[in-house]
């Protein structure tokens, strides 16, 4: 196991779920441009964080928090346009993107960069929430080797 057994990073972009791969005209598989772009953002955030890979086949824990923009329907209109409608303060994002596909994109993006294989995850914690006023949509990720903290 490497000396660093913890990876922390933030992807400053709207969370994107892994979309199903499609098949091209000649049978080859492809990922949507949106998915490819988000995978690149996750890998770039990992490189920017300067975290070395967790080496070896060790059990891993993944903690991921996905912060999404609120839909326009949560806000009032007219001169109160910047205010939330009554009852929307505690609303949670129960629509798409779905949690499992958000998580799968992170696992696939960092596989072979930050860890050997996504099958190493034995514990996963996931949160999907709306951003607070004045904050930006983002994904916060912590990966650690079991027993390291």
Question: Residues 52-95: pLDDT tens digits?
Answer: 899 889 999 999 999 999 988 898 899 988 888 998 888 889 88
Of 83, 103, 105, residue with least CA distance to 21? 105
Task: Indicate the domain borders of the chain.
Answer: 6-145
CATH number of 6-145: 3.30.1330.70
Task: Inform me whether the pLDDT recorded for 2 exceeds 80.
Answer: no
> CA-based angle 10:15:20, to the nearest 5?
130
Q: Average pLDDT, stretch 117-132?
A: 95
% of residues, the chain, pLDDT over 90: 62
24: pLDDT confidence band, cut at 50, 70 and 90? Answer: low
Whole-model pTM: value is 0.86
1: pLDDT confidence band, cut at 50, 70 and 90? Answer: very low
Tell me the two tokens of residue 92. 């949670």
61 or 2: which leads in pLDDT: 61
Any bridge partners for residue 14, and if so which? none
Tell me the two tokens of residue 117. 């294989």
Contact in structure between 65 and 129 (CB atoms under 8 Å): yes
Contact in structure between 102 and 137 (CB atoms under 8 Å): no
d(CA 17, CA 90): 23
Q: Average pLDDT, stretch 9-31?
A: 80
Any bridge partners for residue 65, and if so which? 127, 140
146: pLDDT confidence band, cut at 50, 70 and 90? Answer: confident
Cis peptide before 97 (omega within 30 of 0): yes
Q: Looking up tokens 């999404």, which residue turns up? A: 68
């Amino acid at each position: 196991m490497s000396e660093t057994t913890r990876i922390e990073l933030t992807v400053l972009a709207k969370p994107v779920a892994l979309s199903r791969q499609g098949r091209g005209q000649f049978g080859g598989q492809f990922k949507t441009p949106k998915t490819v772009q988000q995978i690149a953002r996750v890998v770039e955030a990992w490189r920017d964080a300067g975290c070395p890979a967790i080496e070896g086949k060790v059990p891993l824990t993944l903690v991921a928090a996905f912060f999404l923009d609120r839909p326009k329907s949560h806000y009032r209109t007219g001169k109160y346009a910047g205010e939330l409608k009554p009852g929307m303060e505690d609303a949670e994002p129960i629509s798409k993107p779905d949690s499992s596909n958000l998580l799968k994109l992170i696992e696939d993006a960092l596989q072979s960069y930050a860890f050997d294989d996504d099958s190493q995850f034995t514990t996963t914690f996931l949160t999907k929430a709306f951003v607070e006023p004045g904050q930006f949509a983002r994904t916060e990720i912590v990966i650690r080797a079991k027993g390291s903290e």
